[in-house]
Structure 1
Amino acid sequence: MKKASVIMIIGSLLLLGLFKFPLWDIELGAPQYPDPLGMSIYIQGIEGAEEFDLQNIDGLNHYIGMKTIPKAEEMWEFTVFPKVIIGMVLLGVIIGVLGYFNKVNYKYYMGWFVLMSILGIMGMYDFNNWLIDYGTNLDPNAIIKVTNPDGTPMSYKPPLFGYQKLLNFDVTSLPDLGGYLLFLGMSLTLVAFWLGRRASLKKTT
């Protein structure tokens, strides 16, 4: 059980990488931009992959009526998400320490994983809703209006995950290092659950 507890603690602490590294990246490439424009999404705000990327993206979006990329203080998520991550790290470490001293059993590790999974799904749902609003709620007085073949307004929503062609832009949306650390940390808590369960079964046989 001690080995499982240590792995649980390590897995929880890996979530702290979200404060240093981006959770997600959206990249826009086009013939006029041989070096693609990038938007890095952290749990505390949005930054450009390069110094002037956000400025250039906002300049392009202005022509089709898209909103400017929000600052951290303009979205409640960037205030709440860091607190949620800190809370889950502390909870995971506490569970791991209690497990180390045999105060809780391995099932608590799975409980942490399930709770973190629910919070992650809620976060992705919220992120997707923001992308929908960002790409479809356009200024009707925009300089450029592009429609679908059936005449309906075209959506400029970036993909939640993967690749999509938007006009002459190739848009790719993928996890960044922070997202991979989150995935690794959660995976380690599953390993901790499995090891704890195996240790518990050995004691009963």
Structure 2
Amino acid sequence: MKLASTIMVIGSALLLGLFIYPLWHVELEAPQYPRGLGMNIHLDGIVGYTKHDIRNIDGLNHYIGMKTLPKKGDMWEFTVFPLVVGGMSVLGIIIGLFGFFKRSAYKWFMAWFVLMTVLGILGMIDFNAWMTDYGTNLDPNAIMKMTDDFGNPLSYKPPLFGSKDILNFTAVSYPSLGGILLGIGMALTFISYFVGKKLSKKSN
């Protein structure tokens, strides 16, 4: 069980990378911005690629009636998400250490993985809902009112993953280093269950 427990501890500890590196990032590409405009989405807030990116994005969005990007105090997620990720990481490490002393602890590895998966899915749903509101709930008094062929207001919702053309911009959205570390950590905790199960059967 020592191998399985070690894998579990490492996988859980990788979640702490989210306190150092961004979880996700969204970039806007257009001819007038050859270097692009981008924002890194951290657990506790949004930071531009450069010190001017957030201001420039908000300036562009103002013309089409989009809200300004939220600051740390504007969204409860920026307070709750760090607590959830930190708590789950510590819990996973404790469960992993418990495996050094109890052979059946690998069952808790899977329980942790399932709980973290559910929390992750809920987080993505919440993130997508925020982007939907951000891109569709527009100020009716905006300077520019863009509509589709049927006269309906255009949606400026960035993609949850991948790329999407929005007017003359291409919005690109994908995981950043923190999100990659999260994925690797989740994969390791999943593997630790099967390693622990196999080792437990061998020792019986």
Q: TM-score, normalised by structure 1?
A: 0.98
Query: Displacement of 1:203 after TM fit?
Result: 2.1
- In the alignment, structure 2 segments of 5+ residues that lack a partner are none
Q: 2:38 matched to which residue of 1?
A: 38
SS at match of 2:93: helix
Aligned-residue RMSD, C-alpha: 0.8
The answer (yes or no) to whether the contact 1:18–1:178 under 8 Å persists in 2 is yes
Q: 2:28 matched to which residue of 1?
A: 28
- 2:167 matches 1:173: no
Structure-2 separation of matches of 1:138 and 1:18: 31
Q: 1:3 matched to which residue of 2?
A: 3
Structure-2 separation of matches of 1:90 and 1:23: 19
Structure-2 separation of matches of 1:54 and 1:197: 48
4+ aligned runs moved over 4 Å, structure 1: none
Q: How does 1:99-178 map to 2 (within 5 A)?
A: 99-102=99-102, 104-178=104-178
CA offsets per residue over residues 130-169 of structure 1, 9 Å max, x none? 0000000000000000001111110000001101000000
The answer (yes or no) to whether the contact 2:103–2:200 under 8 Å persists in 1 is no
Structure-2 separation of matches of 1:73 and 1:62: 21
Q: 1:199 matched to which residue of 2?
A: 199
Q: 1:49 matched to which residue of 2?
A: 49
The answer (yes or no) to whether the contact 2:25–2:176 under 8 Å persists in 1 is yes
Q: 2:67 matched to which residue of 1?
A: 67
The answer (yes or no) to whether the contact 2:64–2:143 under 8 Å persists in 1 is yes
Query: Displacement of 1:104 after TM fit?
Result: 4.5
Q: Please identify, of 103-112 and 41-50, the stretch whose mean Cα deviation from structure 2 is larger.
A: 103-112
The answer (yes or no) to whether the contact 1:7–1:188 under 8 Å persists in 2 is yes
Structure-1 separation of matches of 2:29 and 2:90: 40
The answer (yes or no) to whether the contact 1:160–1:173 under 8 Å persists in 2 is yes
Query: Displacement of 1:103 after TM fit?
Result: 6.5
Q: Please identify, of 98-107 and 187-196, the stretch whose mean Cα deviation from structure 2 is larger.
A: 98-107
**Match of 1:33, as an amino acid?**
Y
Structure-2 separation of matches of 1:70 and 1:102: 46
- In the alignment, structure 1 segments of 5+ residues that lack a partner are none
The answer (yes or no) to whether the contact 1:98–1:104 under 8 Å persists in 2 is no
Q: TM-score, normalised by structure 2?
A: 0.98
